[in-house]
Each structure stands twice: as C-alpha cells, then as structure tokens.
Amino acid sequence: MSENTIIEIINLSKTYRGGKKAAINDISLKIEKGEVFGLLGPNGAGKTTTISILCGFFAPTHGEVYIDGLSVTKDKEQIKSIIGIVPQDIALYPTLTAYENLRFIGRMYGLKGKILKDRITKYMDLLGLDESTGKKVGEFSGGMKRSVNLIAGLLHDPKIVILDEPTVGVDVQSRNLIVQYLYELNKSGTTIIYTSHYLQEAEYLCKRVAFIDNGNIITLGTPKDLVLGNQGCKDLEEVFLKLTGKDLRD
C-alpha cells in the first residue's frame, strides 16, 4: 500500500447466505488520501454492500480491504474510529432532539464534555441548524434531517467519511448546502467516499468515480476522462446510461 493510498480493496467478493449470485464480485481499487471518490451504479449494483464491508458491518466472502493500513477483518475496532458513516437512512432517533441525538453519537465515539458540546454547536452552525438544536428530529424537514444525519457521521472528525446517498429526497437548497459543505470538508483534507444517483452532484464533487453494476466495476476514472472516453456522451449521466443500459432495475 503506497503512502498516498488510504483505502485499498483487493479482490473483494461478497455472496449473501442463500444468495444465488455475488453481490460484489472480485473488485479491486485504491482510493487516495484526500480524494472524493464516487461509487456510482444503479439499484442493486453492489454499492451499499461495498460500503457496508468498508464500515465493518459485513465480513467479505473473499478478498481484503485495508483502510489506513488496517485490515477491515482484523482491525475492525480501530478502523471504526477513523471512519465516519452517513447512511442512506436517517439513522437518528426521531423523538430525541438534534442535540440529544448528536450527544449520544458523540459519546459513543468517546467524546465528552465541552469538546463534544463545541463540536455539536460548530457543525449545527455550519449547516444552518443552530436554532433547531433543541427541536425533536422527527419534527425536522427532510433537508434538516439529512444535515443532522451528516453531522452525526462527522462529529468525531474522521479521516474518511463514507456517504451513502446523502442527498436523497431533499430539496435543491438543502442538497446544495450539503454538497457545498462536503466540498469544504474535502478541502480540509478529509477523504470522502460517496454514492449517489445524482450524477451531476458526483461530477461536481468527485475527483474519480467508479461505475459498479452487477457486483463488478465496469469503469473507473475522473468524470472528465469518462465523458471524453465515451463518444457521444456529453456528461456523466449519459456515460452511466451507456454503460449500465436503460433497463429498469429493482
């Protein structure tokens, strides 16, 4: 693993128990430090499975993943401290206030006292939620929930942030705010792995993207190179449709 590589995926496969085919099949890739890497693909392509293995939630069937030099199978607990997860679902308690949710999550990452309080205040301010700290999350708009969900993954200042469709179902303004914030976050040196169905967003944010379909990486490169390399395609969305087809997915 080179000095600049923060994540190395080697021949990774995952077949769920009782599954007829592999959810991901022998994929290998490297992600550089400070990179925003897009993992894009249609529904059921294997994105969430890949992310779940990176987080240590599932064990791979074959292969190995190294994060910052640590093995996801052997050094799971150490890896958990250096990554921040922003799941696709709003992984918050709706009857708790934003502050109570974030205080709980921060404490579970070992933060406490003034440090924790200051971080919650800082992130709530940055995402324009400073006046909603004491409100129950269940009473928030979709965009506000997404923002708190994002903060929950950032509270412990992780080296790597893994985002699974962080802007799904939010209005344009909220999406813009989140994307801008991720852009700023990356500028401060945080590595971001990002999945989304919004390819414009990915094109703007990601240094490199991998298209994944049927558990295989079908292409990998910078958005610009991918567009240029596929004749007749004007943007990443057209490349995506060209490579993954127009058939509806589950």
Partner 1 sequence: MNKFFASFVKEILLLIRDRAGIISLFVMPVVLVFVMTLIEDTALNSLVDKQITMLFCNTQNDSLGIAIKNGLNETKAFTIIEEVDGQKLNKETTKKLVSQGKYPVGIYIPEGATDTLASNAKKVVLKTFSDIGLGKQNAVAPKYDSVVIDVFYDPAVKNALKAVVDGAIGQHSSIIVGKMISKMYTEILSSFLPGGKKLNVNYPQMISINKEYASAKDNTIIPNSTQHNVPSWTLFAMFFILIPLSGSIIQEKDGGTYLRLMTMPSTFISTFLGKIVVYILVCLLQVTILFSMGVYLLPFAGLPALQIGTHFDALVLVVFVSGFAAVGFGVLMGSLATTYQQAASVGVIVIIILASLGGLWMPIYFMPKTMQNLTQYSPLSWSLKSFYDLFLRNADVKDVLPNVFKIVMFGTSLFIVGFVYKALKKVR
Q: Which stretches of the chain bind partner 1, using CB under 8 A?
A: 16-17, 52, 55-59, 77-78, 80-81, 83, 85, 87-96, 100, 103-105, 107-110, 112, 152
Report the C-alpha gap between 82 and 99 in whole angstroms. 22
Residue with tokens 């997915």: 249
Q: What are all long-range contacts of 131-138, with beta carbons under 8 Å and residues at least 24 apart?
A: 132/98, 133/97, 133/98, 133/99, 134/97, 134/98, 134/99, 135/97, 135/98, 136/94, 136/95, 136/96, 136/97, 137/90, 137/92, 137/93, 137/94, 137/95, 137/96, 137/97, 137/98, 137/101, 138/94, 138/95
Q: Measured between alpha carbons, how far is residue 184 from residues 38, 164, 194, 237 in Å?
A: 16, 18, 15, 24
Q: Indicate the residue among 55 and 226 with the shorter CB distance to partner 1.
A: 55
CB of 149 to partner 1, least distance (A): 9
CB of 56 to partner 1, least distance (A): 6
Q: Indicate the residue among 10 and 91 with the shorter CB distance to partner 1.
A: 91
Q: Indicate the residue among 36 and 55 with the shorter CB distance to partner 1.
A: 55
Q: Is 149 exposed, middle or buried (0-12, 13-18, 19+ CB in 10 A)?
A: buried
CB of 239 to partner 1, least distance (A): 30
Report the C-alpha gap between 43 and 56 in whole angstroms. 21
Report the C-alpha gap between 5 and 159 in whole angstroms. 13
Q: Apex CA 187: angle with CA 236 and CA 143, to 5°?
A: 65
Q: Indicate the residue among 83 and 144 with the shorter CB distance to partner 1.
A: 83
CB of 215 to partner 1, least distance (A): 15
CB of 97 to partner 1, least distance (A): 9
Q: Indicate the residue among 22 and 209 with the shorter CB distance to partner 1.
A: 22
Q: Indicate the residue among 101 and 186 with the shorter CB distance to partner 1.
A: 101
CB of 160 to partner 1, least distance (A): 12
CB of 38 to partner 1, least distance (A): 21
Residue with tokens 């599954």: 19
Do 151 and 144 contact (CB within 8 A), yes or no? Answer: no
Q: Indicate the residue among 92 and 179 with the shorter CB distance to partner 1.
A: 92
